Amino acid sequence: MSDRSDRVFHVDGDLVPAGEATVSVEDRGFQYGDAAFETLRAYGGDVFGWDAHADRLAATCELLAMDHGLTRGDLHGRILATLEANGLEDAYVRLSISRGVQPGTLDPGPEVDPTVVVVVKPLPRGGLSGESVWDEPATLQTVSTRRIPDAAVPARAKTHNYLNGILARLELRGTDADEALMLDSAGHIAEGATSNVFAVDADGLLTPALSGPVLPGITRATVLDIAAEENIPVREGTFGPETLRSAEELFCTNSTWEIRPVESIDGATVGGGPVTQLLAQRYRERVETAFY
């Protein structure tokens, strides 16, 4: 099932054909971006890293002071029901929870009747026998749009307000780059518009620290776990774009891409290499062991 018109979405407890799936124009997620979401990847009929995703979703809702009253078991069940209804085992999954419809003022009320939506679409099989969802290694370009400081909007809050990343991606128009590399207000590397970034040098792995405006990616955490198993040293720190341009290897991570090597950054060729390949192989082995 690949045509959107054939798909079924989960909206507020019901499975609804895509063409009939709607959310109120008065929903706070639509009006203000007042909503939390998670992007997940399903393999073999279930989602990878559910507990970690559920923890991050709960943390976002807590930051938003949104007590939606739904258990993680309920949310997981809605995802599984949506996958089953679409006949999908390997898929992209997006779970969104908004504060729902409230009186049209900026101040949210304490009582929440949440809007909960699950959207799925097919992706290639993962694991050792799978194929990449990306066609080529990534091409990065440093953009002028800066990552919003934590003091303004906490980076760990994964909300519907994605204008920051959209503005960064708009800067790529007319270039051959497919991921925007964003800096913080001090000019240090933060992350890609939709990904975490890793460099490989003679001392091991290097990635921006979560003390900066960096989303705590689920795939990022998995890579750090695999690196520890493989005795690959990891430094989480603060550094500028020149560090990435001089790296031996670069790669990006997110739930959909998994581990995607970077071919070039700002026109400088970098490419993948043995460390990136090892981490990607170990990641695929985890997927294979867990789901196939």
pLDDT tens string 238-284: 999 999 999 999 999 999 999 999 999 999 999 889 999 999 999 99
Domains of the chain: 4-122 (3.30.470.10), 138-291 (3.20.10.10)
Tokens 């006949």 map to which residue?
87
Six-digit token string for 84: 């089953």
Q: What percent of the chain shows pLDDT beyond 70? A: 98
Closest CA to 115 of 191, 215, 9: 9
pTM score: 0.95
Q: What is the pLDDT of residues 23-81, one digit of tens each?
A: 999 999 999 999 999 999 999 999 999 999 999 999 999 999 999 999 999 999 999 99
Tokens matching residue 221: 């955490």
pLDDT in tens, 171-187: 999 999 999 999 999 99
pLDDT at 1: 47
Kindly report the number of other CB atoms within 10 A of residue 186's CB atom.
11
Among candidates 269, 34, 275, which has minimal Cα distance to 160?
A: 34
Token pair for residue 11?
Answer: 């909206």
| pLDDT above 60 for 214 | yes
Give the pLDDT of residue 103. Answer: 86
CA distance 83 to 96: 15
Nearest-angstrom CA–CA distance, 77 and 167: 35
Res 13 pLDDT > 70:
yes
Nearest to 120 by CA among 257, 44, 9, 37: 9
Mean of pLDDT values over 154-177: 96
pLDDT for the residue numbered 272: 86
- Residue 162 has a pLDDT of 95
93 φ, ψ to 5°?
-130, 135
From CA 232, how far away is CA 120, in angstroms rounded?
35
Share of the chain above pLDDT 90, in %: 95
Residue 155: CB atoms within 10 Å = 20
pLDDT at 204 over 70: yes
User: For 104-146, how does the pLDDT look when each residue is reduced to its tens digit (9 = 90+)?
Assistant: 789 998 889 999 999 999 999 999 999 999 999 999 999 999 9
Two structure tokens written together for 218: 């689920």
Question: Read out DSSP for the chain?
Answer: ---GGG-EEEETTEEEEGGG----TTBHHHHH--EEEEEEEEETTEETTHHHHHHHHHHHHHHTT------HHHHHHHHHHHHHHTT-SSEEEEEEEE--B--SSSSPPS----EEEEEEEE----STT---SSSS-EEEEE-SPPPPPTTTS-TT--BS--HHHHHHHHTTTTSS--EEEEE-TTS-EEEESS-EEEEEETTEEEEE-TTSS----HHHHHHHHHHHHTT--EEEE---HHHHHT-SEEEEEETTTEEEEEEEETTEE----HHHHHHHHHHHHHHHHHH-
